[in-house]
Amino acid sequence: MTVEIRQSDLIESVADALQYISYFHPMDYIHALGEAYEAEQSPAAKDAIAQILTNSRMCAEGHRPICQDTGIVNVFVKWGMDCRLDDTSKSLQEVIDEGVRRAYLHPDNKLRASVLTDPAFTRRNTKDNTPCVLHVEMVAGSKVTVDVAAKGGGSENKSKFKMMNPSDNIVDWVLEMLPQMGAGWCPPGMLGIGIGGTAEHCVLLAKQALMEPIDMGPLKARGPQNDIEAMRIEIFDKVNALGIGAQGLGGLSTILDVKIMDAPCHAAGKPVAMIPNCAATRHAHFTLDGSGPAFLEAPKLDEWPKVDWKPDAAAKRVDLDTLTAADVQGWKQGDRLLLNGKMLTGRDAAHKRIADMLAKGEELPVSFKGRMIYYVGPVDPVGEEVVGPAGPTTATRMDKFMDMMLEQGLLGCVGKAERGPAATQAIAKHKSAYLMAVGGAAYLVARAIKGSKVVGFEDLGMEAIYEFEVHDFPVTVAVDSEGNNVHQLAPTYWQKRIKDEGLLANA
Ligand SMILES: O=C(O)C[C@H](O)C(=O)O
């Protein structure tokens, strides 16, 4: 018997699921992160996890996005072959994109449009986050099951893939890749690993693996029952022993779980892909059977761990409006600061345009002399907000512009994740500093932003240059004016402690 699925039910269910995951973390992630918080011994990593947990609960209460990067939408549909859409005037891609559009333009909780068309050239924002990336499988039965995810760009950027030789060791490859991935994927999170199939299939398996629930705790408690489970545990233990830690600040918890999916492959090879999922892990699952739209039950707020992050009382207050080069040189790596006053913003597109304008001898819309820049692309405000969630974007992508910006008289910058050798050298050469805020704590961080106006490149939307007025905006000195770099020093220190003191023996 044919089951009719209403187009309107599918659209509504996709839109609701995307709204839901924008502000509700999956509870398996929150429970695992709560356990990681309890076990963490690195003060900097513990503080970062506290910010992520506090942010998560605030978002669940306030129905605003967990992260300013509200993701690119990934949809996996398993379409029961007894089902048909009531209205076939649109393709399935168009129908699901309508759900995406409604979710991202929702007036009470507008999400950030991050999807650009013409990626190699003009890179124009589609303004409603469409199109989604859709995968459809025709299956037996009379139901349509849908997995919806909103994948952050920072973690997607760290995806890895290799066509291995059959005898190559997968665990060795993972351990080689992890340090190269740095902290731009906002650990602690999950690793999805796809093994086998063909080149494109193993990447898809890695992505699908991330939809599975976190269960490393129970798995370790009962012990592995097959080779895949044994490999998951081995990777989990060995990756955490690297000491990378939350936000790359060094610590005991880099990943909360490893998920592996496999498929048969050709005798000549062993394709392997790995995709990390960030602190803003977002996915929901629903089924349509013709009886109406899906309903996702809200989690209970008392399930969140009782963690209420507050700025460190020992943090130094900094007045950005009177900041001097000498003040910046007084900061040491690891110092906690609370920024007050005005700072400019700018991320990928603005930096590229600044470089092009300088190359042509054109005047910039704003002077960077004596200013700080925050690498961010905020969510638009709703209601009384001055700005929506506005956490840091990956600073590493701005490395190639660092010297150019410092030549403009910039005093320093704020972002997340590590800086590479060239940027670190540029920072030391100019006696500047790089400060990091916590990625994945965007709504919490936005509370410290009291004013916001666009001061340049308005056409770039969320990538425009804003001027923010901040009050007690929490950051850590990640590269100081001597070129001391937290993201190099801290993981090395924690890796050694984990090994020497057996800190993960009971993890
Ligand atoms: O786009 C952003 O705001 C952040 C991005 O997801 C990143 O992690 O670098």
pLDDT in tens, 345-385: 999 999 999 999 999 999 999 999 999 999 999 999 999 99
Report the alpha-carbon distance of residue 201 to residue 191 in Å, rounded: 17
Neighbour-count burial for 326-346, b at 16+ CB within 10 Å, e otherwise? ebbeebebbbbbbbbbebbbb
What mean pLDDT comes out for the span 189-204?
A: 98
Place of tokens 């990681």: 36
Residues in the chain: 507
> What pLDDT is attached to residue 87?
96
What pLDDT does residue 1 have?
84
Q: Do 375 and 246 lie in a common domain?
A: no
Query: What does the pLDDT read at residue 186?
Result: 97
> Would residue 500 count as lying in a domain?
no
The reply to whether 356 and 483 lie within a common domain is: yes
| Mean pLDDT across 390-415 | 98
Q: Across all residues in the chain, what is the average pLDDT?
A: 97
- Verify cis geometry, omega within 30 degrees of 0, for the bond prior to 421: no
Q: Give the residue whose CA is nearest to atom 4 of ligand 1.
A: 393
- State residue 268's pLDDT score: 98
Q: What does the block give as tokens for 488? A: 């190099």
Asked if residue 30 belongs to a domain, the reply is: no
Judge contact between 376 and 390, C-beta under 8 A.
yes
Ligand 1 binding pocket includes 69 (Cβ within 6 Å): yes
Ligand 1 mutation target, pool 66, 393, 398, most atoms within 8 A of CB: 393
243 lines ligand 1 (CB under 6 A): no
The answer as to whether 202 is a domain residue is yes
Does residue 154 have its Cβ closer than 6 Å to ligand 1?
yes
Segments forming the whole domain that contains residue 5: 1-25+66-151
CA distance linking residue 151 with residue 233, whole number of Å: 25
CA distance linking residue 158 with residue 190, whole number of Å: 12
Ligand 1: which of 67, 70, 351 to mutate, most ligand atoms within 8 Å of CB? 67
Please report, as a single letter, which amino acid is at residue 263: A
| E strands present in 388-464 | 412-415, 433-436, 449-456
- Single-letter residue type at 277: N
Ligand 1 near 68 CB (within 6 A): yes
Instruction: Write down the ipTM of this complex.
Output: 0.97
Measured in Å, residue 394 CA sits from the centre of ligand 1 at: 6
Residue 227's alpha-carbon distances to 150, 260, 272, in angstroms, are 30, 11, 16
Say if residue 382 is in the same domain as residue 280: no
197 Cα: distance to centroid of ligand 1 (angstroms): 30
Assess whether 74 and 173 both reside in one domain: no
Q: Is the pLDDT of residue 15 over 80?
A: yes
Nearest CA to ligand 1 atom 1: 69
Residues 379 and 250 grouped into a single domain: no
412 falls within a domain? yes
Residue whose tokens read 């990928």: 348
CA dihedral 405, 407, 410, 413 (to 10 degrees): 40
152 lines ligand 1 (CB under 6 A): yes
Q: Are residues 452 and 469 in the same domain?
A: yes
CB of 345 shorter than 6 A to ligand 1 = no
Number of domains the chain is built from: 3
Residue 506 has pLDDT above 80, yes or no: no
Looking at the structure, tell me whether residues 343 and 424 fall in a common domain. Answer: yes
Give the pLDDT of residue 226.
98
Residue 393 alpha carbon to ligand 1 centre in Å: 4
Q: Please state the rounded mean pLDDT for residues 237-263.
A: 98
Residues 358 and 483 in one domain: yes
Domain match, 145 and 251 both: no
* Residue 461 near ligand 1, beta carbon < 6 Å: no
Ligand 1 center–CA 189 separation, angstroms = 15
Same domain, yes or no: 330 and 448: yes
- Give pLDDT tens digits for 94-124: 999 999 999 999 999 999 999 999 999 999 9
Alpha-helix residue ranges (DSSP H) falling in 63-164 = 92-104, 153-156
* Cβ(393) – ligand 1 distance below 6 Å: yes
Residue 42: inside a domain: no
> Is the sign of the CA dihedral 249, 252, 256, 257 positive or negative?
positive
Q: Which long-range contacts (CB under 8 A, 24 or more apart) does 331-335 make?
A: 331/433, 331/477, 331/480, 331/481, 332/477, 332/480, 332/484, 333/477, 333/478, 333/479, 333/480, 333/484, 333/485, 333/486, 333/489, 334/44, 334/476, 334/477, 334/486, 334/490, 335/476, 335/477, 335/480
Which of the listed residues 125, 351, 394 should we mutate to test ligand 1's pocket, taking the one with most ligand atoms within 8 A of CB?
394
Residue 505 confidence class, pLDDT cut points 50, 70, 90: confident
Which of 151, 174, 197 is the last residue before a domain boundary? 151
Tell me if 262 sits within 8 A of 204, measured CB to CB: no
In a domain, residue 301? The reply is no
Residues 157 and 147 in one domain: no
**What distance in angstroms lies between residue 134's CA and the mean position of ligand 1's atoms?**
22
Collapse the DSSP code of 338 into the 3-class scheme (helix H, G, I; strand E, B; otherwise coil) and give the result: strand
Nearest to 251 by CA among 261, 259, 239: 239
- Reply yes or no on whether the pLDDT at 507 is more than 80: no
Measured CA to CA, the distance from residue 403 to residue 441 in angstroms comes to 28
3-state secondary structure of 471: strand
Q: What does the pLDDT read at residue 312?
A: 87
pLDDT over 70 percentage in the chain: 100
392 Cβ inside 6 Å of ligand 1: no
Question: Could you tell me which of 159, 149, 158 has the C-alpha nearest to residue 184?
Answer: 158
| 497 lies in some domain | no
Q: Is the CB of 396 under 6 A from ligand 1?
A: no
d(CA 30, CA 39): 14
Helix (H, G, I), strand (E, B) or coil at 192: strand
Any domain includes 305 = no
Residues 160 and 264 in one domain: yes
- Tell me which residue has its CA closest to atom 8 in ligand 1: 154
